[in-house]
Amino acid sequence: MLQLMHVTKTFPGHFGPVLNEVNLTFNEAEFCVIIGSNGSGKSTLLRTIAGEYAIDHGRIRIDNQPHQEVRSLIASVIQDVNQGTVPDMTLLENVVLGCLKRQKAGLRWYQSRQQEALQQIQSLGMNLERYLHTPIKNLSGGQRQMIATLMAIQSKPKVLLLDEHTSALDPKTQRVLMAYTAQAIEQHRMLALMITHKLDDAIEYGNRLIMLHDGKVVLDVAREQKQALSRNALLDLFHQYETKDHHEQ
């Protein structure tokens, strides 16, 4: 469904490629967790798939079409809560914006989607309905990230990109948001790629695990092998690459 063939990306002034001949194939309903140290190319990979960065060479295709032509099939949630929503708009307006990604906007009142938006907000189970007409800049960071995730999921994308979307949240909200995300991915059978620095999350969630290092895929395991991995084994892998870097320097 999503294919990356020989994808290479460099940035001016950056030593070496950030993505180096990446070849990956993902299938529908796959929940893939991506890990790697800082600067390994994780976020660049997701932003490249999202079409935010042009690649130097290689090809990215979604359902056999160039990814740039089907950007409406992709939704992303990033760490910065201010970028995933419109903070000055109300909760209702934000959720309607999420709906409008999959449906063509017309000249009908956006308020007429209130019922649809309300149902979606209720599906979060966080009692946010009372804030329907409140600008979401007045809500907490966790609530705003929940809304950003809801908006991305409700736009029913084929590819959902999650870039450390729980990292700025407290442990309790993190668990609630991760549980909601995992359930929604399974329910809507979308392909999800999630970046995380939390090794426990990497082991617990998803049915595929990829590790990047220096822009290359150094580990790519399916659910069965992933379940066999322990936190310590993953930590050892991290250290292995860090030591390698240290020796190279």
Partner 1 sequence: MNSDLLLTGILQGLILALTTYGVMVPFRILHFADLTAEGAYPLGGAVCSSLLLMGSPTVLAIIMGAIGAGCMGIATSLVHLRLKVNSLLSGIILSTMVYSVNLRLLGKPNVALFHRALLFHPDHLTHNVLIVALILLGTVLPLMCFLKTERGLLMRAVGLNPSFAKRQGISVAHYTILGLFIGGCFTGLSGGLMVELQQYVDVGMGVGVVIHALAALMLGEVILGNDTLNKQLLAPLVGALVYQQIQGIALSIGLAPSDLKCFTGFLVLLVIAMQRKKTGEPS
Q: Is 156 in the site for partner 1 (CB under 8 A)?
A: no
**Residue 132's beta-bridge partner residues?**
none
* Residues between 43 and 82 that touch partner 1 (CB under 8 A): 50, 52, 71-72, 76, 82
Count other C-beta atoms under 10 Å from residue 13's C-beta. Answer: 5
The answer to whether 76 and 151 have CB atoms below 8 angstroms apart is no
Residue 152 or 234 having the CB closest to partner 1 = 152
The DSSP output letter for 33 is E
Between CA 44 and CA 1 the distance in angstroms is 20
* Residues between 6 and 45 that touch partner 1 (CB under 8 A): none
Q: Which of 1, 5, 29, 86 binds partner 1 (CB under 8 A)?
A: 86
Between CA 207 and CA 227 the distance in angstroms is 9
Count of residues engaged in binding partner 1, rule: CB under 8 A: 28
Single out the segment in contact with partner 1 by CB under 8 A; choices: 22-30, 96-104, 182-190, 212-220: 96-104
Q: Is 107 in the site for partner 1 (CB under 8 A)?
A: yes
* Residues between 119 and 148 that touch partner 1 (CB under 8 A): 135
Q: Is 168 in the site for partner 1 (CB under 8 A)?
A: no
State the virtual CA torsion across 237, 242, 244, 249 in degrees, nearest 10: 170
The answer to whether 10 and 18 have CB atoms below 8 angstroms apart is yes
Between CA 87 and CA 141 the distance in angstroms is 11
Q: How far is the CB of 78 from partner 1 (least distance, A)?
A: 9
Q: Which of 101, 156, 188, 198 binds partner 1 (CB under 8 A)?
A: 101
Which positions lie near partner 1, rule CB under 8 A? 50, 52, 71-72, 76, 82-89, 93, 96-97, 100-101, 105-111, 113, 135, 155
